Amino acid sequence: MDSRYSYDENSETWPVFVLALTSVAVVPLTIAKVYSALSTNVELQHQDAIEQRNIPPQVLKHRSDQKRRSSLTKKNIFLVFGWIVIAAMVYLVSTTEQTPTQNLFDPYELLGVEFGTPEKVIKSTYRKLSVKYHPDKIKGASEEEMKELEERFVLITKAYKALTDEETKENYEKYGHPDGAQPVSHGIALPKFLVEGKSSPLLLALYIALIGGALPYVVGTWWSQVKKVTKRGIYSDTAEEFITRLMNQNPAKHVGMSTILTWLSNAAEYKDLLPGKTPEQIYSLYEEYLNRKPSDDALTAVSIVPTLINGLFDITANFRSTEITLTVVDTLKHFTQALPEGPKNELLQLPCVDTDAVNKSKIVKLGRLTTLPRDEIKQTLGIKDDAELEEALRVGTRIPKLDLISAKFEVPGETVVTPSSTSVINVKVAVKSARHHKKASVSQEKLEEDQSLEAMRDPFKIVHAQPPLPLAHAPFFPSERHSGYVGFIVLQRDGKICDQPVLFRNLDLSNLDLSETEFKDGKKVTVGTFKLPVSQPTPAQPGKYQFRVIIKSLDYFTQDIDTSVTMHVQEPPKIEEVNYDIPDPEENSLAGTMAELRGEKVKSGDSDDEDEEESDLEEEEDFTDINTDTEEEDDDED
C-alpha cells in the first residue's frame, strides 16, 4: 500500500462520510414527506363534505388495507433505515477521539502575542519566553518533561524567526511553516481494515461492482421509470393504447360507455396492479363494481380508474372528439357513484333507494323530486322508512347544481375582446341545491371583479381564492375522492373541442345552506367563478366567433354547465386625440406683441370661426356581424 495515503485508522472520518451521504438522501425526502402529509391534512379540513354514512363493509376494509399498505412502502422503509444509520453515525462521530490532522503553525499563538504587534514587543516577548523554556534553565524535571520543554523552546524560536528572520518569514508565508514545505498527507475516509490485508481485493471487487454494476443499474431503472409514466400520470404504454384505439375507432360506430370500459381495461397499469388478469377479466371486474357487488380485486381495479380517465380525456380532448370526451367524463361519474348506464342516475346516486322503484317512476332529476309531497318521494325512491328518506334527502339536497349566470370572453385589461390577444372565458355560476327552484337574483356588484393591476396580472386569482371543494359523497369508491369539475371549450363551427381541458378544485358551496327564499332573494348568494384560459390568441379579424363552454362535475350526476358563448372581437375604442399644438399667440396679448417684434406668426383677433376645425368625431366602426361559414342549402323539395 502506498504510504502517502493514510487510511482511517481510528474510525474518525468514515462515519462522517457515511453521515454526509445518508443525510443528503434522507433529509430532503423526509422534509418532503412531512410537508405533503401536513398539507393534505390541511386540505381535507375545508368545506363540509357530505358525510358518508353508508359505506359498504368491503369498501371500508379495502380503504383501511390501502392505508396500511401505503405506510409500508419501500420509500418509508428506506427512510426509517436511513435515519437509523444517521443516528449510528452521529453516535460514532461524537464518541471517537479526534487526533489533530495537521500541526497548524501559528507563531502568534506560540509567542502569546496579537497579530500586528511591533517587532520590538515580539523581541522582548521572545526573550522572556526563552528564558522560561530554555532547557538549561530547568532543573529537576523528568525526561518527558524535558523533551516537551525542548520541543516548546524550539517552536518558540521558530516562531520568533518566522516573524523576524527573512528566510524563515518567506517559508512561513509560502508554506505555513517556517521549515519549508511540509509533507502533505491525504486521508481516505475508509477504515483501515477494509483496505489492507485480506479484505482489500474484496473492497476492489465491491468498488467495481458499484461503479460498473450498481450505478448503471440504478440510473437505468430510474430512467426507465421516468420513461414509463407520462406527465399526465398514466403509463406511456397506456397512453399509446388509448391513442391507437382512438385512431382506429370506426367513426360510424357510436362510442358508448362499454367502449370506454374496453379501452380502460387494456391499460398497462393492470399488468403491475393485477398481474395475471386479462383485459376481459378487468372488464368484468368493472361490471361487478358498477353493479355494486365488488370483490376486493374489483375495488383494486377501480382505484386507478380516475387516473386513467384523466389521462384518457386529455388525449380525446386534444384529438378534438367532443362526444367521446363527454362520454369519458360521464364514465368517471359512473365509477365515482358505482352506477351502470341508465337515465335515472341522478336518483340512484342517493343512499337507501330501491333501484326497481326508481326505474319504474318517470322522475329523472333530483330537482323535480324535491317538489313532490313526501309520500310521493317515498314511492318514487322505493323507501318505506322515514329515517332512510331523511338520509336520502340529506345527501340529495347537498349535491351541488350549477346555475349559469353569465359566460363571456374577456381580455384582461381591456373592456372589449381585442384582436390577437390572450383571452379567458369567465363563467359565473350560482351553486344551488336540488331544493332551490327559483332563479337567484344576483346584483351586478357581485359579478364585478377586482380591477386592480394585480388582478389583471393574474386573472385566475379569483378562481383559486375560492374555498377548495370537499370530499365527494362516494361511499362505494375504493378510496376517498376529492370533488372536482372539468371544463372544455368547443368550437361551434365544427362542433369539436378546441382547447385543453381545465380542472377545477375550488368553488364556494355555501349556497347549499340557504333556504329557498334566501336563494331567490340573492343577498346571501355567493357567486362562483370558473375561468377557462384560451391558449390560442383571439383572431386578428374583428367579428363574431361562436363557442360552447362545458363544465362538468367529475363526481355527481347533476346539473352541469353547457352553454353557447360568443366571442365578439372588436378594435379597442379609440381615445379622443388630444390636440397638442400650441396655438399661435393672440394679437393683443403680451405674448403676441413679443412674437410680432420677433417676426413670428400671430393669430389675429378677428379671425373667423370658420378657421376653427371641427374636432373629428371619432366614429366607432360598426362591425357587421360576420357569420361563420355555412353551406346554405335551400331545399326546394316540398
Options 59-67, 69-77, 369-377, 443-451: segment touching another protein (CB under 8 A): 369-377
Is 397 a binding residue for another protein by CB under 8 A? The answer is no
Which of 369, 405, 429, 532 touches another protein (CB under 8 A)? 369
The candidate with the shortest Cα–Cα distance to 549, out of 424, 415, 400, 413, is 424
Q: What is the 3-state secondary structure (H, E, C) of 447-502?
A: HCCCCCHHHHHCCCHHHHCCCECCECCCCCCCCCCECCEEEEEEECCCCEECCCCE
**Measured distance CA(382)–CA(435) in Å, rounded:** 20
Cell of 45: 379540513
Is 439 a binding residue for another protein by CB under 8 A? The answer is yes
Is 284 a binding residue for another protein by CB under 8 A? The answer is no
The candidate with the shortest Cα–Cα distance to 556, out of 367, 371, 396, is 396
**Measured distance CA(385)–CA(392) in Å, rounded:** 11
Least separation in angstroms between residue 466's CB and another protein is 25
Which of 232, 408, 461, 568 touches another protein (CB under 8 A)? 232
Is 143 a binding residue for another protein by CB under 8 A? The answer is no
- CA distances (Å), origin 465, targets 65, 277, 469: 35, 45, 12
Options 121-129, 154-162, 367-375, 388-396: segment touching another protein (CB under 8 A): 367-375
Among positions 477-496, residues that touch another protein (CB under 8 A) are: 492-493, 495
Gyration radius of the chain's alpha carbons? 41
Which of 541, 564, 588, 589 touches another protein (CB under 8 A)? 564
Among positions 87-116, residues that touch another protein (CB under 8 A) are: none
Which of 74, 120, 186, 227 touches another protein (CB under 8 A)? 227
CB 446 within 8 A of CB 529: no
Is 589 a binding residue for another protein by CB under 8 A? The answer is no
Which of 69, 231, 598, 601 touches another protein (CB under 8 A)? 231
- CA 105, 110, 115, 117 dihedral sign is negative
Least separation in angstroms between residue 335's CB and another protein is 17
Least separation in angstroms between residue 367's CB and another protein is 4
Which of 295, 371, 589, 607 touches another protein (CB under 8 A)? 371
CA atoms within 13 A on the CB side of 567: 33
Site string for another protein, 236-275 (x = CB under 8 A): x--xx--xx--xx-xxxxx-xx------------------
For another protein, which is the closer residue by CB, 301 or 315?
315
**Measured distance CA(557)–CA(434) in Å, rounded:** 12
**CB within 8 Å of 18: residues ≥ 6 apart:** 85, 89
CB 409 within 8 A of CB 416: no
Which of 454, 610, 612, 632 touches another protein (CB under 8 A)? 632
Is 359 a binding residue for another protein by CB under 8 A? The answer is yes
- Residue whose grid cell is 393574474: 458
Least separation in angstroms between residue 250's CB and another protein is 8
Among positions 178-197, residues that touch another protein (CB under 8 A) are: 183
- Residue whose grid cell is 319504474: 360
The candidate with the shortest Cα–Cα distance to 160, out of 122, 132, 209, is 122
**Measured distance CA(262)–CA(241) in Å, rounded:** 11
Which of 19, 122, 315, 407 touches another protein (CB under 8 A)? 315
**Measured distance CA(243)–CA(341) in Å, rounded:** 24
Which of 90, 113, 364, 456 touches another protein (CB under 8 A)? 364
Is 630 a binding residue for another protein by CB under 8 A? The answer is yes
Is 633 a binding residue for another protein by CB under 8 A? The answer is yes
The residue ranges that bind another protein (CB under 8 A) are 3, 183, 212, 227, 230-232, 236, 239-240, 243-244, 247-248, 250-254, 256-257, 311, 314-315, 318-320, 341-344, 359, 362-365, 367-371, 437-439, 492-493, 495, 546, 548, 559, 562-564, 566, 625, 627-628, 630-635, 637-638
